[in-house]
Amino acid sequence: MKCCLAVFILISSCVALGDACSCFPATDTEKYCATYNDFAILIQVKNGGQIVQNKRRYKIDLLNIYNITITNTNLQTNFIFTAVEGSLCGITLQNGKFYVLTGTIADGNGNQKILQTLSCDLRIQYDSEADVDFVAPTC
């Protein structure tokens, strides 16, 4: 009886700790080349992220565009957005770090478009710009 109770508690705790967000295993090249991506960029994060309208918004410097599907003059490129919680596929970016990210372009306020990235998208972190060795793959 004690054994069954211990197994039940162990299984219950694993289920409670599980994330609702899950991604198919994929290589960096597969993530970069995914057909749902609208962009691939190199950024530097300029703040720790703020909650704005149920999304986490990071101020960024856009350093390089590897790929983008639309050229929209209303594209807001000084911020990147993600879900607030990891269970909603949100990510955490560190202030001052450099990242190669992929993601989608979503509707923002009014007629503005925003950059959005989630945990299933490509995310490669670098400590400094000199460390960035990313070469965009051929898809």
> Higher pLDDT residue, 72 or 12?
72
Answer yes or no: is 124 within a domain: yes
Answer yes or no: is 57 within a domain: yes
* Domain extent at residue 111: 20-130
CATH number at 26 reads: 2.40.50.120
Answer yes or no: is 14 within a domain: no
**Domains: count for the chain:** 1
Answer yes or no: is 9 within a domain: no
Answer yes or no: is 32 within a domain: yes
Q: Quick check: 76 and 106 in contact, CB under 8 A?
A: no
Strands, E assignment, the chain: 39-45, 50-52, 55-68, 75-83, 98-107, 113-116, 123-126
Answer yes or no: is 61 within a domain: yes
- pLDDT digits 0-9 by tens, 84-102: 988 899 999 999 999 999 9
Answer yes or no: is 138 within a domain: no
Answer yes or no: is 55 within a domain: yes
Rounded Cα gap, residues 124 and 61, in angstroms: 16
Instruction: Provide mean pLDDT across the span 108-116.
Output: 90
Q: Who's near 52: CB < 8 A, 6+ residues apart?
A: 81
Compute the chain's Rg from CA coordinates.
18
Instruction: Provide mean pLDDT across the span 24-33.
Output: 96
